Structure 1
Amino acid sequence: MMGCMAAYASNDALMKLVFLQLGFFQAIFLRGLVTILLLSIIVILRHEFHFRISARNKIMLALRTIGEIGATFCFLGALAHMPLANATAIMQSVPLVITLAAAIFLGETVGWRRWLSILIGFVGVLMIVRPGMEEFNVWSLLTLLAVVLVVLRDLATRELTAEASASFTSLIAAIVLTIMSLLLLPVSDWNPLILESFSLLTGAAGILIFGYLFSIMAMRVGEISFISPFRYSILLFSIFFGAVIFDEYPDTWTLIGSAIIITTGLYTIHRENRHRLGNATSG
């Protein structure tokens, strides 16, 4: 799982570099072409092309794709204009928001401890975003919107049956994302594609696929309760890449807010595991 998080952080860092050379939608479009090629190879090798999908899965797949595309545009748009560590830290609130959304929209039971954990976690988010202060900007809001859209994607993914494989659903999202980027090219700059830009894009797409494969391997081999906390290692990698590549160093408030988000997120995972174990025992 740490390999997966290192891959995702590397992809974010490479895309941030690409945005310095290419137009926003140009970069996403070109990365999408490489991603589609690589994912298609994986899907073909795994014999996971499915043209007959149930009506319910089609709805969930559509919602998942909307969430995936929206989150990608919002997060990468923010990433191009704000420090890598700050954007990544805000995204770590996703588990807290998923718990909140599952309680509100799916009727899942959430005890007072997890409600308190969610509330404290949001305090950590506010410490990073700092509304009303000089550091606050529209890019922080865009990252928060990305969090909401990731939650939509993950909740829709949770409702998908095994009929729609992970590789196939990722391929669908990549195709739609690339088409949307193509349609939006007229509102973006189009710069000459030099060897450096092409290498960065190819590397970003390849690393993204590796992250996806590492994630599947971790989820299949390891216990979810054990590997889930390692997701937060992405923040360490993002801080490292931000410092080494972009000379970005998180301030004290960002570090404290990140620590609060991670602590409350880990506690929420712990409580959910206990709740799940209790239900399994009683069943």
Structure 2
Amino acid sequence: MENRLKDFLHFLIVEKGLAKNTIVSYERDLKSYLKYLKNIETVTDLNHVQRTHIVHFLKFLKDQGKSSKTLARHVASVRAFHQFLLREKAADHDPTVHIESPQLERKLPKVLSLEEVETLLNAPRLDNHFGLRDKAMLELLYATGIRVSELIGLNVGDVHLSMGFVRCIGKGNKERIIPLGRTAAKAIDSYLNNGRKKFMSKKSSEEALFLNHHGKRLTRQGFWKILKRLTKEAGIEKELTPHTLRHSFATHLLENGADLRAVQEMLGHADISTTQIYTHVTKTRLKDVYSQFHPRA
């Protein structure tokens, strides 16, 4: 069964061109699935898997306290795996045909107000190369709405300051060209001219735009630590995630009348329904403003 999993992961990498983080999620989900089949259901042949085995697996996960979002992700992974086996003639049926994904609770993303964004963006100290880097990263995130994985994946050649755009590779290896505002361009220019070289050794040929103190590409975990520290220094009490500036970017654009399709394209959403959740955020915020300021609210 493990060999079939390796074949499937190879298919996702080579033919589907999925991102590394997506591959890791598939592998983690399917390893736990195969372990369950082998140890609890005593199934050692994937062709013997029945719908009831998968239903029991999902109940097993639920009993462990897994969220509906995690269950839905496992269903998607298991379904894709069995469809692959059927297509490759490694199985003669697909046991996931009548398996339904759990209903997801659509939580509204947390966003910062304009004042909070301003406070956060001004938190880095600009008298050292670390501060110049952090300022450039925050300005770039808020200016473009790119994902943190896309931010740390940027190379120096992906940013075109004179023309005012950034090129990034998103989910499924899809390329996006996103406009870059003057403020963000200025912060990146300052970092490139006065900060980035101080992270590098003389012999370094690192292409990554944002570097850590070893002169290597900054990681997601490294960025997350920086964001938590800056949030604390800025005195922002809201619970932030690495995606908070992305959510704020989308919400503030829509609040100011931006076209939903244009925002979808900039965010790199395959489905516009994903972008539409931000319209709910703007409606909620409008209600809050109404309740606070209308004399008869």
> TM-score per shorter chain, which class?
under 0.3
Q: Scaled by the length of structure 2, what TM-score is found?
A: 0.23
Higher relative contact order (CA 8 A, sep 6+): 1
Per residue, is there more strand in 1 or in 2?
A: 2
Q: Scaled by the length of structure 1, what TM-score is found?
A: 0.24
